[in-house]
Homo-oligomer: A and B are copies of this chain.
């Protein structure tokens, strides 16, 4: 009989966040779970890694009977340490990250520590899933997310992923009974429109708080933002090649200008 699959769990909200607890609760039903997660919140860390400082790794007794470690670095550092130190030489069957408290749909995939951690595992050929809930608050109900995490993880463990190694999954902020189902989507074209809240410290020096508003430009009905707005769980198969293939021909003339434009 085949052993239980080895499942690496991480997140970006930190090892004590409710979202990762919900994820561990589902994963322990289907595999052997090891957790390596940040020791503090790391939202918005994108694919950042720690180059100029050493990392710390601490064994933690946070999830009953589950091997777990906190790491002083970013979500991506957690996955690199998990693969190369904690689980060195072992085959990781699945990496799941989250459940993030807040949306990682559309352009948020670029800023997201949660999805970047899963993406880092995907670079190693590991089937990986980032889970995020649009229920932002710390005490949000994780039951709707848990309801959909299980079938998605089961599907990936049973069928594998052939044409990509990463899924970006977002769950709407609705009670389970109100969720319409799951949609496989493309990433919507959108961006953040920022304002800075400018304040003065007691010494009279300015400081700036980032605030922003998500702006969706995409009218498509095949996008993750559309799915979420219409009550569906969104599943975007994702990959790390950023090449704009359709721009290559447009730029080819640049190859001819090299030596005609010497400086000085």
How would you classify the secondary structure of chain A's contact residues: helix, strand, loop or mixed? mixed
User: Is A154 on the interface with B (CB-CB < 8 A)?
Assistant: yes
Assess whether B241 is in contact with A237, with CB atoms less than 8 Å apart. Answer: no
CA distance A111 to B119 in the complex (A): 11
Assess whether B208 is in contact with A47, with CB atoms less than 8 Å apart. Answer: no
Q: Which residue in B74, B85, B199, B210 is a CB contact (below 8 Å) of A208?
A: B85
Assess whether A44 is in contact with B55, with CB atoms less than 8 Å apart. Answer: no
Assess whether A151 is in contact with B258, with CB atoms less than 8 Å apart. Answer: yes
User: Is A1 on the interface with B (CB-CB < 8 A)?
Assistant: no
How many residues of A are counted as interface, with CB atoms below 8 angstroms from the partner's CB atoms? 97
CA distance A253 to B26 in the complex (A): 21
CA distance A15 to B186 in the complex (A): 38
Known: A57-B208, A84-B194, A186-B248. 10 other contacts (CB 8 A): A41-B52, A47-B47, A47-B111, A55-B208, A57-B206, A110-B242, A155-B257, A181-B258, A187-B242, A240-B242
Q: Which residues of A contact B (CB under 8 A)?
A: 26, 41, 43-52, 54-57, 74, 76-77, 80-81, 83-85, 107, 109-111, 116, 119, 123-124, 146-148, 150-152, 154-155, 159, 161-164, 166-168, 181-187, 189, 191-192, 194-196, 198-199, 205-210, 233, 235-248, 250-255, 257-263
